[in-house]
Structure 1
Amino acid sequence: MMGEEAMDFAGGGMVEAILRDELAREERALGSVVPVLRHLLASEGQTLVSDAILARVRGMLADLAAQMLAVAEGRDAALRMSGAGDTAARDMLANALAGDPALLSFCHALATESQLALRLQQRSGIDPVLSPLLQELIASDMPAIAELAMNTLAAQSRFIQSQRRMELPLGELPAELFHALVAGVERQIDDAAGIARLQQTYDEGASRLGLLARLVSTMRRGAVAALALDHAGLALFSSALAALARQPRAAAVIACHEGQGARLALGLRAAGLGPEAIERQFLAVQPSARITPGIADVSPDQARLLLAAGQAG
């Protein structure tokens, strides 16, 4: 079925060929991120790898390790390590966590998001926590939406603070990563009761990403309003783009990064935006970049197919 759809628009010609080539180049660049991160995280040459994203990824892995060690000691994970004597054990566990490509990719996406949010605030005055759209949702006359928006605001504020401290609370992991992490270290932890408590208190829907996804879902057709970056803010924009374009949120965040213009243009088209709206968001995210001419000739369905084919490749 998918192959037949691809055949239907394959004759569209030059625009699709250009987009496919650009997306393939961006996928190759993105595909090198995890191997490079793993190499740099293992490097002793700190002065050569003092990049902000690398530092945040390293900090998040160390923080996850510290929380798991706290659980191993029978304490609340939020209390982290009990003292400097745990540093060697923490670093050893953090190095082990760095071997997980899925976890590394997730941390990279979070670090990228926080860096982009700071850049957008400095360049365009876009508040990384309270956007105009979030303010409107908080003021909604529907109590359920207003409460969800308030909880999202609090979670986004915690995210920005955690990123400044280079921390990643266990509860902010997606379910598959949380359970994989717990299962991976469970054999090394004698406190079965502590592991059970950790699992019982975990609620993916209460995490920042869970709250953002729920908020976008409650907006229904109005979610398209979140595709205005200056109005929605990066966090809500990324979640709406992911939902409407039917792609992973991490991919939506990465699309806002320099050098990922084809991914962004295709994502916005897949989300249903027309060429003028795409150009406005494109310029807001990447002012110096050029949008691929002819993006209007690609339908939303075709854009989704191109994105899916690029991710599969």
Structure 2
Amino acid sequence: MRGLQAEGGALVWRDQPAEQLKPGQVRLRVMAAGLNRADLLQKAGMYPPPPGVTQVIGLECAGEVIEVSGESRWKTGDRVCALLAGGGMAEEVVVDGRHLLPVPDGMDWAQAAAIPEVFSTAWLNIFELGAAKPGEKVLIHAGASGVGTAAIQLCKALGNPCWVTLGSEEKLAACRDLGAEGGALRQNGIRSLQSEGPFSVALDPVGAPYAADHLDLLGMDSRWVLIGLMGGREATLDLAKVLAKRIQLTGSTLRARSGDFKAELLARMEERLWPLFAEGTLRPLVARTYNFDQAEEAFAELASDQVIGKVIMVR
């Protein structure tokens, strides 16, 4: 079995021994895999997999069940998508059966592979940790990213007006089409959004550059959920504003969460969100697909920061 690994900043396909299934695990023939910024960091040697997780890159994939061990809801031939801690960019992957969800009817492999990581990230951090209630305003940074485009759709579907920050007018227009009320270009600063606030929830993969402005954009009892540090890790904050507004700052990562946590998260998502995929209210946004032998090109496309939605590798 071949898998894609990072070696010295480059991508290399390596033969891997086929993993033996444990009870409750499922083997998939991978048909498509989604790219995420975490994969770029792993390629650069800056985000190693958690202990015990394969060196093969890939946090989400879609494929066909080819083997099942023990009692399972899945059977050979099922079309599924998977949330992974690693291993998605390979010919096969072994995954906890609880970390699979059925491919929504009518979706191709690329669309299915664009769901697990970004929709779970958006759902967890806005609606579970961020506790967004219908009608509350949500601020979404990197709004044209995979997570951002998923978050906009979730907010629209669940009754939360949202605003975005991003890097171009083209991206802003695309986010408006998905349901965002408006936004700000990051090169112009984000304080122009103050007139649209106050915001109850902020989904923040950027970090330092926006930190001080959050204290003015967020309202009383607001929730600021930090999921990344694309802009830097060190910031100076006026803690008096945090105290006066009772702002809750939560750091959140998903990859290293326990298997039980992910299983429970996906079960709640299937109950709440899969009917919305079935009716077309939610849809993964695939920006471009590449063949698996075009991995370097696919990674370069994501790194260019010109993508609206997801880059997907397909067989």
What is the TM-score of this pair, normalised by structure 2? 0.29
Say which one has the larger Rg. 1
Q: Which structure: greater helix fraction?
A: 1
